[in-house]
Amino acid sequence: MLGEVASLCKEAIRFFRTHEKWKYQFLPAFEFNKSRGLEAYDKLFGPILAEPIENFLKESGCVPTWDGGWAKPDETICLAESLRASNDLIRIGILREDEIATIAGGTSDLKLVHPDVKERYAHPFKKVDRQDLLGNDRFLEDKSRQPNAPAWFRALYLWLAKNPVHYQSGRSHSVRGYHEFKFVLTSERSVLNGSEVWLPDVSPTDPAVKGLADTLQKSRNILHPDILAGAKDEEEAKILRGFLTSCVGVQVLDGRTVLKLSFGQEIGMKAVGYIRVSTEEQAREGISLENQRTKIQAYCSLNDLDLIEILEDAGRSGKDLNRDGIRRVIDLVRGREIDAVIVYKLDRLSRRVKDTLTILDAVDKKNIAFHSIMEKIDTKSAMGRFFLNIMASMSQWERDTIGERTRDALRLKILKNERAGQIPYGWKLAEDGKTLVENSLEQRAISLVVKLSAKGYSLRAICRELDKEGYKPIGKRWHPKTVSSILKKAA
């Protein structure tokens, strides 16, 4: 009877392939919950029903592709972008349909899954997205040497700007940046990180400053002029400029920056202040928001700094960076919209040395000054830079010391066969809640991983076999990194 059911399922699959609607949605209907270890499954339902159907799906072209064809599941790749972003990627000519799998996926024998296809939970498609495209250095370098390079890169920047990726940071929502990728086209037709590239913005009405700017440009990487010059209108140029400076980190070479780089002058520096208070006790200790605000205003007036804004986090702890005010400061720094950051006291940034150094590192990379009034820190001075180096050394010492203590404690627990953090795969807690004992089912999975690896199976192939055999994954699904970790521990 089960054999007949399996045959009927295969007939249903053949029918679904011809249906205009169900051909995109039928795959999840053939998902099986595998009960390995139960006699009924091991001897009956598994070999007679589940396995034949899964093999049929695996060996037949059951996945609709973007080009209107069909492909085997292992020969497909899915573009993990919104439908609008996916269509725009092709429509504006950044990539052709037949290029996406090769360029973003890294191999030429894959077919792009149709965006309407519903995948199976236990057998997800390999996915690629914009990060795979931006991380393909060879492809981007090839594009930079083509005659239409400025137009192509302009289209890429507009696509990223108009199809942003949002993420939540604490209570606020932020737009993903691309500071780590080398995809900014320079006037020399090289592709670099945004922080290495400058965007000239000097008024031609000041010939002296214009002459200095021209001299500086000869020793710096300049954004290809046709990127902005080729924009269809002022609005598009504004979008490009905003995206490149805020989300990519391209630095603006304006009159103020030219004077600062040429003479070390900080005339009319745009400064932003940051203030924070977390408890009523702090207010009584003399560091209320109002007191911090007054001190910063007086400091900027005394030092000829143009204080354009004071950002605050009222009633917020400094234990992390999930604060609206400090996130705004970081965004201004990354977009190089300011020349200096002013705080009343260093711990107003964060109570964690690691977070403080993260902020100061971003400030330093953008050539932005940092001032802390109480500690008398000015990073534009030799003493200020010396202080930051000491802080960095102390932070590294603290991390190393904590790491040594943690490793020693974990080694002792492992020697006693006790739980040391997360329970490792293949083990479970004994009744005493402390000692580890073997998990027989997971140990069988480990043995299978080792056996398949010895036979030459790839990490992804081992993942598929584990799914096929019904072993419960660590997390939502089996991943090559997980299999690699199991192999390393087994060795």
Active site residues: 278
- DSSP assigned state of 121: S
Q: What is the DSSP string of 188-235?
A: TS-EE-GGGEEEEE--TT-HHHHHHHHHHHTTSEEB-HHHHHT-SSHH
The full length of the chain comes to 491
Question: Which H or E run contains 238?
Answer: helix 234-243
Question: Which H or E run contains 78?
Answer: strand 76-79
Q: Is the dihedral of CA 466, 470, 471, 474 positive or negative?
A: positive
- Which residues, listed in sequence order, are joined to residue 427 by a DSSP beta bridge? 438
Q: Six-digit token pair at 244?
A: 């490149």
DSSP-based three-state secondary structure for 77: strand
Determine contact, residues 471/445, Cβ cutoff 8 Å.
yes
Question: Which H or E run contains 307?
Answer: strand 305-314
Residues 6+ apart with CB under 8 A from 149: 143, 185, 189, 224
Helices 480-490 and 459-469: angle between axes, nearest 10 degrees: 90
387 dihedral zone (left: phi>0; alpha: psi -120 to 50; beta): alpha
Helices 83-91 and 149-162: angle between axes, nearest 10 degrees: 170
